[in-house]
């Protein structure tokens, strides 16, 4: 059975179904209970599952994430919502020094099956620190997995996988896409494996790597460039940001010989750098041009009146494609 | 749907009243002598400021609704807390407000048009007038509290007679930074005032879910610093409390934690729907009718013959014009230049930022040509 | 060179004594009835455990000096706190110790040879016996306190009759995590015991520089949870206090914050030189002579005729053998295989880690060939 | 005048001289006062400058860094010591959301002239979390500068520059080198500009990029390879990790055509990736082989009995060089 859902609805449904199916699953966060979440991602869950399983927590991220680690150690499967990605920092130590390392230091004796969901990214006219895209911090931390869906279908399937994963998963939800469009989403539970990218559009002239909200910009730019120049871009949705799906990345580049990474995060030490390095390792001789990065700039994500200029635009992506192809 | 009882009503209930300092009762009566402390002119200044900032706040909510401003965090109902506290400061004092403390900031020298610019997402919305120490609104909860320890510490080291005040909410008291700030201030006896507006809610979360502790002021004891609980809708009580805290700080007696009991009538921000988590209609009406900070001062002023409806009308008209002037200034303010985002990342220039600025410049030129 | 006065002596001074729970006085006298609570066999178990762990600790320091172990954090002087508290637990309880709490951990089921392995930097030094819940030593200060909230919360949700105990020091009380843990435990009334060993110092920093507050137990009031101050060198008082906290927790009455006043005789770790920051000789001698947890119990046992020097000699010999057995086990333990570092990063394998493991394997093969 | 100093002595001297010269300078941290620092980097300073300028703080990193931000706002120049790099996490929010952004959001009205010094890196048989190398976190944060000296001379000159810098500087001190060797260090104050790498050894066959404790491994490997194979490696000490000195990187690669990055940090999204991406951008066509990364593995820095195998070794670097040259 199928239905049309926004991404936020797909996310709610994933949590709803896991809560229904598995007693160990709990949702924790600020305003996620009675209020149903500031983005309404947990709407109805408090009423349905009660205050012990859908928990309005105090305003303290280390407390939330740290106690979720404890819950996970003792048999629960906590799904934490952090209200915006930048507000994860007070809990950063708990993530990096504990969640990511517990299995390792106890040689598998204790694991932390924890999911941390958080809206991320710009483009919603948010106030300061509501638009960050710091996936690099987590993609540089062994022991974590990092996921970022670009559409409702993937969001549901990836979130179910994340909740079922025995290890901590940072689940980044592109705020801008929460209600941007609806899509066919199966009613039943299904899983999209963590660690697998997806070739969203086949092409032969150049590969665009993107994820989250940038995927649509990539697709738009690809369409425009095809109309204008006739070049066919392959578009790869990475979906999992750590560990990266190297095979899909390399295979595509070997085919097209040209590539471009689009991300919201700052350019310097953004994930684009890792993708380029993987290509450098595996497919250098296939390259007909440098892999271009079209990214957020190396400035703090600015106030929203200029955020659209901070973000990669179709125009900038197109220009990147042209420069790469005419290199 | 479980709607939690309003915890603030509990805070206001008789049992709790004894520990809550009050001077001007909700009915407009003075219940503790203010002779020689608060004169007519100060009363009028307080009153007019509250009127001004209430109008400002309502205007802002409207501007957001009209799409002329982004998300906005209203403070209607909390005027006495913010204005009473800010009135107790000197010009050189350091103020660390949050996203909701524009009344305090404006009293302390921030300009209204800047606040508009801030919520319009302008890159220049966080500047304060030259020489002022009204810091930008702090967004990450409780983080500003330690800054107010640092600035106060520096004042002390330099022998400067200034205090630092940090504004924060009831929700903020759960963050680790709250604890670290109070503890540091206690150790270094910094002239810091921790001013908590306990409006009963952190967005949708009532204080009873935030902590098992009954009051916030009691936490001062954990650090052996001074703590006070005050009726935050009583501008006299707030002013007197903060004034005392300032004096204590400047005498070298260290920090004070102040819990001001208040209430926000409206939504957490314009993006929030309070009806989901509280009986918004009932509770706001109750507060407006029984506890309003402006009404109670008005009653006093009228009783004393300091004020009448004519004056009110005139002042409201002036205020309206004043706000419009600022709004005009904000809306006519040069539009933020996207290229500005590359400035002030560092004091000195860096190659990578310069190049990215050039890159965007080229793109923007192209856009214009099209 | 300024050497700060020992703040712990202050804590032990007359004025403070009233609020510090004591049962077994330093002179070996029982000052509060323990009838029906602590019998001979428990006393002897406590005593022998303290002997064992003191020997273990001294052995560890020696092993470090001999280069057979890495840096080590000694606990000599704190045996009553660690052992008394651990004795009050049940097998299924969750324990979150720090780098200094090996006595507690070993009583709660950790094996001595594992502790040796831990400080030898072995990859398998953090495992506890199958089925036990003695967690690895926590290194980042205060971070384990919130874990003990979480595990206790889960016990409560599952209806399991277990408490969780977090060990931490006086220094840890300054971290934000301390505050968040106590607050969360208060809100969810989790069966958590926060067991603070106030040994007066965080490395070189005396508690008076850590906070303006006089005690740590007083902080419980900030969260409306239960707080107690106990003589941490009095194993009876510690045991009774923790036992009571366990009962309270299991009755659903929530968490307890316990401040146990104690002292580490030695260095912070073997990498530390305490002479720089305190009169190490004077102060340690003072404590050893006047407050030692083992001596005072020994006095009682001898007075009661439960113990004599012969027994002591025999037990010490057994202990020495027991420790040697564990040491041998640790030293004969298969050397850590460098390739092990690639295991257990995730439950499932990942290409990038597998390849890196292969890469190192090749390098190691080459090394062997050479 | 000159003297032979270890790196830790050079660092102490830089602080001593700045404290002596500038009243606004303060040192803050755990055990840095009476105790002189757990590595003795502040030895003697408490006695010389008193408790108001060399401050033993409570054990709370957010409190230390946050109040240092306040001190900096109000005219002081705080130099904070964090005891080990991994213990910076509780103060991470203060660094990323405040120190790095204050100048930006106030359009230059308020700056934060703050230095955060911290020992970093493995190889000292430290317990868990005493050996991290997470420079990426800071090198991905616009508004910060990141510095890592590899020798006493640079340490002193860079630290003086950092203290004089109007912006926040993360100053990473390779623990392993604190007392590893002595070097001629001028008695007088001098500055090494932030942002400039240094070509430590000229060569023509391949460039090795390194910093901190890895520089010596790089030099050793270069020497060995020269002896064994006659290949001449150029060795570049990056010194400043953010912003990177692109010109020096690119110039060297254009000359040698081959490169290798050595760092302690995990490979995935380590700084090596950014260096490779810069080369990809600017010098792809000069490349005769992929730029190799010889780095810490993508596992938590392991317990010390195997840490030497986690760290890049001369053997691994040599092998990397051989693979690159014989590509
Ligand atoms: C560290 C952090 N976590 C979460 C948020 C999201 N947030 C913004 S305001 C708010 C509630 C604050 O409540 P309170 O401190 O009572 O202040 P009030 O809004 O009532 O004035 C939350 C959770 C944030 N800004 N920062
Ligand atoms: C977050 C963090 N900051 C700093 C350190 C370094 N450090 C290790 S032990 C210690 C002192 C701890 O003192 P206390 O809590 O009193 O425990 P004790 O060592 O006395 O048992 C410090 C500062 C750390 N491990 N973690
Ligand atoms: Mg509030
Ligand atoms: Mg201690």
State yes or no: pLDDT of C251 exceeds 60.
Answer: yes
Total domain count, chain D: 2
- pLDDT at residue D266 above 70? yes
Are C17 and C292 spatial neighbours (Cβ–Cβ below 8 Å)? no
Regarding whether D309 and D177 lie in a shared domain, the answer is no
CA of B268 to the centre of ligand 3 (A): 8
- Among B131, B138, B150, B352, most D C-beta atoms within 10 A, so best to mutate, is B150
Mean pLDDT for the stretch of residues A295-321:
97
Contact B70 A309 (CB under 8 A): no
Does one domain contain both A70 and A141? Answer: yes
For the stretch C145-197, pLDDT in tens is 999 999 999 999 999 999 999 999 999 999 999 999 999 999 999 999 999 99
Does B249 sit in the ligand 1 pocket, CB within 6 Å? Answer: no
Do residues D178 and D205 share a domain?
no
Within a domain: A173: yes
Q: In angstroms, what separates the C-alpha of B101 from chain C's closest C-alpha?
A: 25
Write out chain D residues lying below 8 Å of C180, CB-based: none
Q: Is the pLDDT of residue B5 over 60?
A: no
Instruction: Output the pLDDT for position B227.
Output: 97
- What is the pLDDT, as a whole number, of residue B17? 47
> Is position C268 annotated as part of the catalytic site?
yes
Q: What is the pLDDT of residues A239-260, one digit of tens each?
A: 999 999 999 999 999 999 999 9
* CATH number reported for the structural domain that contains residue A44 in this entry: 3.40.50.970
Is the four-CA dihedral C52, C54, C55, C60 of positive or negative sign? positive
Task: Tell me which residues of B are annotated as active site.
Answer: 264, 268, 277
Q: Model confidence over A146-155: pLDDT tens digits? A: 999 999 999 9
Residues A234 and A117 grouped into a single domain: no
Distance C345 CA to ligand 3 centre (A): 41
Q: Are A39 and A117 in the same domain?
A: yes
Q: What would the two tokens of residue C145 be?
A: 């306190």
Which chain C residue is nearest to residue D37, measuring alpha carbons? C204
Cβ neighbour number for residue A289 with a 10 Å cutoff = 18
A271, part of any domain: yes
What local confidence, expressed as pLDDT, does residue B366 receive? 81
Which chain A residues are within 8 Å of C346, Cβ to Cβ?
A: 103, 143, 145, 166-167
Q: Tell whether D52 and D174 lie within a shared domain.
A: yes
Residues of C in contact with D59 (CB under 8 A): 141, 171-172, 174-175, 202, 205, 210
Residues A178 and A206 in one domain: no
Answer yes or no: is the C-beta of C233 below 6 A from any ligand 2 atom.
Answer: no
Cβ(D240) – ligand 2 distance below 6 Å? no
Distance CA B213, CA B183 (A): 18
Contacts with B220 (C-beta within 8 Å, 6 or more apart), sequence order: B182, B226, B227, B256, B257
In short, whether A63's Cβ falls inside 6 Å of ligand 1 is no
Q: How far apart are CA D33 and CA D94, in angstroms?
A: 23
Residues in C lying within 8 Å of B, measured between beta carbons: 174-180, 183, 186-187, 189, 209-214, 218-219, 221-225, 254
**Domain span holding position D272:** 198-325
Q: Are D46 and D101 part of one and the same domain?
A: yes
One of C54, C114, C229, C268 is an active-site residue; which one? C268
The conformational region for residue B266 under phi > 0 = left, psi -120 to 50 = alpha, else beta, is beta
Say what the pLDDT of residue B2 is.
39
- Measured in angstroms, the CA of D193 and the nearest CA of chain B are apart by 12
Q: What is the pLDDT of residues B217-244, one digit of tens each?
A: 999 999 999 999 999 999 999 999 999 9
> Mean pLDDT over residues D296-317, rounded?
98
d(CA A238, CA A149): 9
Q: Does the structure show a pLDDT above 70 at B7?
A: no
Q: Which residue has the tokens 């009293």?
A: B107
**Average per-residue pLDDT for chain A:** 98
The full length of chain C comes to 370
Neighbours of ion ligand 3 (CB under 5 A): B 169-170, 199, 201-202
Mean pLDDT computed over A254-275: 98
**D62-98: per-residue pLDDT in tens?**
999 999 999 999 999 999 999 999 999 999 999 999 9
Same domain for D30 and D109? yes
Q: What are the tokens at C52?
A: 């064992």
Say if ligand 1 is within 6 A of residue A83 CB. Answer: yes
Please pick, among C54, C226, C264, C296, the residue that the annotation labels catalytic: C264
Domain containing residue A280: CATH number: 3.40.50.920
State the pLDDT confidence band at B6, using cuts at 50, 70 and 90: low
- In angstroms, what is the span from residue A228 Cα to ligand 1's centroid? 48
Choose among A242, A281, A287: nearest Cβ to D284: A287
Mapping DSSP to helix (H, G, I), strand (E, B) and coil, where does residue A288 land?
Answer: coil
Ligand 1 centroid, distance to C3 Cα (angstroms): 43
- For chain A, report the end-to-end CA distance as a whole number of angstroms: 48
C203 lines ligand 2 (CB under 6 A): yes
Mean pLDDT of B155-174: 98
B312 has pLDDT over 90 = yes
Beta-carbon separation of D59 and C205 below 8 A = yes
Helix boundaries (H) for A165-245: 214-229
A308 Cβ contact list (under 8 Å, min separation 6): A123
My answer on whether D33 and D80 are in the same domain is yes
Of A130, A140, A263, A309, the catalytic one is: A130
The yes-or-no verdict on residue B4 having pLDDT over 50 is no
Ordered DSSP codes for B177-243 = HHHHHHHHHHHHT--EEEEEEE-SEETTEEHHHH-S-S-SGGGGGGGT-EEEEEETT-HHHHHHHHH
Residue A2 pLDDT: 81
Q: Are A109 and C127 in contact (CB under 8 A)?
A: yes
Report the alpha-carbon distance of residue D142 to residue D289 in Å, rounded. Answer: 31
What's the pLDDT score for residue C1? 35
- Residue A147 located in a structural domain: yes
Domain spanning B7-335: which CATH class is it, in words? alpha beta
State the SS3 of chain C.
CCCCCCHHHHHHCCCCHHHCECCECCCCCECCCCCCCCCHHHHHHHHHHHHHHHHHHHHHHHHHHCCCCCCCCCCCCCHHHHHHHHHCCCCCCEEECECCCHHHHHHCCCCHHHHHHHHCCCCCCCCCCCCCCECCCECCCCCHHHHHHHHHHHHHHHCCCCCEEEEEECHHHHCHHHHHHHHHHHHHCCCEEEEEEECCEECCEEHHHHCCCCCCHHHHHHHCCEEEEEECCCHHHHHHHHHHHHHHHHCCCCCEEEEEECCCCCCCCCCCCHHHCCCHHHHHHHHHHHHCHHHHHHHHHHHCCCCCHHHHHHHHHHHHHHHHHHHHHHHHCCCCCHHHHHCCCCCCCCHHHHHHHHHHHHHHHHHHHC
Cβ separation B210–C187 shorter than 8 A: yes
Q: State the distance from the centre of ligand 3 to the C-alpha of B137, rounded, in angstroms.
A: 15
Selected residue of C64, C71, C121, C270 to mutate for chain D interface (largest D Cβ count, 10 A): C121
Does the beta carbon of C12 lie inside 6 Å of ligand 2? Answer: no
Amino acid D200: pLDDT: 98
Chain C: partners with 3+ C-beta pairs within 8 Å: A, B, D
Mutant choice from B139, B153, B156, B353 vs D, greatest count of D C-beta within 10 A? B153
C141 ligand 2 Cβ < 6 A: yes
Q: What is the structure's pLDDT at B1?
A: 35
Q: Cβ separation of B148 and D70 shorter than 8 Å?
A: yes
Ligand 1 pocket residue status of A57, Cβ below 6 Å: no
The minimal CB distance from B218 to the residues C189, C210, C222 is found for C222
What pLDDT, on the 0 to 100 scale, is given for residue C370? Answer: 58
Tokens of A101: 């390392």
Question: Which of chain A's residues have a Cβ under 8 Å away from the Cβ of B70?
Answer: 125-127, 304
The answer, yes or no, to whether any atom of ligand 2 lies below 6 A from the CB of C169, is yes
Range in B282-286, C269-273, C322-326 the model is least confident about: B282-286
- pLDDT tens digits for D152-165? 999 999 999 999 99
**Contact state of B143 with D142 under an 8 Å Cβ cutoff:** no
Ligand 4 is an ion; its neighbours by CB within 5 Å are C 169-170, 199, 202
Distance from CA of B347 to the nearest CA of C (A): 32
Residue where a domain terminates, one of A129, A162, A186: A186
Please state the pTM of the whole predicted model: 0.98
Which of residues D186, D216, D244 is at a domain's end? D186
Is D130 catalytic? The answer is yes
Q: Tell me if A192 is assigned to some domain.
A: no
Q: Is the dihedral of CA B212, B218, B219, B221 positive or negative?
A: negative
Per the CB < 8 A criterion, the answer to whether B315 and B51 are in contact is yes
Shortest CA gap D271–chain A (Å): 7
Please give the Cα distance from D136 to D69 (Å, whole number): 22
Q: Two tokens at B347?
A: 């004091």
- Using alpha carbons, list the distances in angstroms from residue B211 to A268, C147, C188, C226, C250: 41, 18, 9, 14, 21
Mean pLDDT computed over B175-186: 98
D210-233 pLDDT tens trace? 999 999 999 999 999 999 999 999
Ligand 1 atom 13, closest CA:
B202
> Do the domain assignments include residue D150?
yes
Query: Backbone phi, then psi, for C261, in 5-degree steps?
Result: -80, 120
Residue A209 — pLDDT band, cuts 50, 70, 90? very high
Mean pLDDT along residues D235-244:
98
Residue A193 in any domain: the answer is no
| Domain extent listing, chain C | 7-335, 337-370
């Amino acid at each position: 059975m199928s239905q049309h859902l926004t991404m936020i609805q797909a996310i709610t449904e994933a949590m709803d179904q896991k809560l229904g199916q598995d007693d160990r699953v709990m949702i924790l966060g600020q305003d996620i209970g009675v209020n149903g979440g500031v983005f309404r991602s947990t709407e109805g869950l408090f009423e349905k599952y009660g205050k012990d399983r859908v928990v309005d927590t105090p305003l303290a991220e280390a407390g939330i994430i740290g106690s979720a680690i404890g819950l996970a150690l003792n048999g629960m499967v906590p799904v934490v919502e952090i209200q915006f990605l930048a507000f994860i920092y007070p809990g950063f130590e708990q993530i990096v020094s504990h969640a990511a390392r517990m299995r390792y230091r106890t040689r598998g004796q204790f694991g932390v099956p924890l999911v941390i969901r958080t809206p991320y990214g710009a483009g919603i006219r948010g106030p300061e620190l509501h638009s960050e895209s710091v996936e690099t911090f987590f993609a540089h931390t062994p022991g974590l997995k990092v996921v970022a869906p670009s559409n409702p279908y993937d969001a549901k399937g990836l979130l179910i996988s994340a909740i079922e994963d025995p290890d901590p998963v940072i689940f980044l939800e592109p705020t801008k896409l929460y209600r941007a469009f609806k899509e066919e989403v199966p009613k039943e539970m299904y899983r999209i494996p963590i660690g697998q990218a997806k070739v969203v559009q086949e092409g032969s002239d150049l590969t665009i790597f993107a994820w989250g909200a940038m995927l649509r910009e990539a697709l738009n730019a690809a369409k425009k460039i095809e109309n204008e120049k006739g070049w066919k871009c392959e578009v790869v949705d990475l979906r999992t940001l750590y560990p990266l799906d190297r095979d899909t990345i390399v295979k595509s580049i070997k085919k097209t010989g040209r590539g471009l990474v689009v991300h919201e995060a700052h350019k310097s030490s953004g994930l684009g750098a890792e993708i380029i390095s993987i290509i450098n390792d595996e497919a250098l001789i296939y390259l007909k041009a440098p892999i271009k990065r079209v990214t957020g700039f190396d400035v703090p994500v600015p106030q929203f009146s200029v955020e659209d200029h901070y973000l990669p635009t179709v125009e900038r992506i197109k220009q990147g494609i042209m420069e790469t192809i005419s290199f | 749907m479980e709607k939690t009882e309003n915890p603030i009503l509990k805070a206001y209930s008789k049992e709790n009243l004894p520990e809550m300092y009050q001077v001007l009762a909700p009915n407009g009566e003075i219940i503790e002598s203010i002779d020689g402390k608060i004169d007519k002119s100060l009363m009028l200044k307080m009153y007019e400021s509250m009127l001004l900032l209430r109008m400002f706040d309502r205007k802002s909510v409207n501007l957001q609704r009209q799409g002329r401003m982004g998300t906005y965090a209203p403070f209607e109902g909390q005027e006495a807390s913010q204005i009473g506290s800010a009135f107790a400061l000197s010009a050189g004092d350091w103020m660390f407000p949050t996203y909701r403390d524009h009344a305090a900031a404006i009293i302390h020298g921030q300009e209204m048009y800047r606040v508009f610019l801030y919520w319009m997402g302008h890159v220049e919305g966080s500047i304060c007038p030259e020489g002022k120490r009204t810091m930008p609104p702090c967004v990450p909860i409780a983080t500003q509290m330690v800054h107010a320890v640092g600035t106060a510490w520096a004042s002390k080291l330099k022998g400067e007679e200034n205090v630092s005040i940090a504004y924060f909410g009831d929700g903020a008291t759960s963050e680790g930074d709250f604890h670290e700030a109070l503890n540091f201030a206690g150790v270094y006896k910094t002239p810091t005032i921790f001013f908590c507006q306990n409006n009963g809610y952190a967005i949708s979360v009532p204080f009873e879910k935030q902590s098992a502790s009954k009051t916030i002021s009691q936490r001062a004891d954990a650090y052996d610093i001074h703590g006070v609980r005050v009726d935050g809708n009583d501008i006299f009580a707030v002013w007197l409390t903060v004034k005392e805290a300032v004096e204590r700080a400047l005498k070298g007696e260290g920090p004070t934690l102040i819990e001001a009991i208040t209430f926000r009538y409206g939504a957490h921000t314009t993006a929030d729907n309070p009806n989901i988590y509280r009986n918004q209609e009932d509770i706001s009406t109750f507060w407006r009718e029984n506890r309003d900070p402006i009404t109670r001062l008005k009653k006093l002023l009228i009783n004393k013959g300091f004020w009448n409806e004519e004056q009110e009308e005139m002042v409201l008209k002036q205020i309206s014009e004043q706000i419009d002037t600022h709004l005009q200034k904000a809306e006519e303010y040069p539009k933020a230049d996207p290229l500005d985002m590359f400035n002030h990342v560092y004091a000195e220039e860096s190659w990578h930022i310069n190049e990215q600025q050039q890159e965007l410049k080229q793109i923007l030129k192209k856009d214009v040509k099209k």
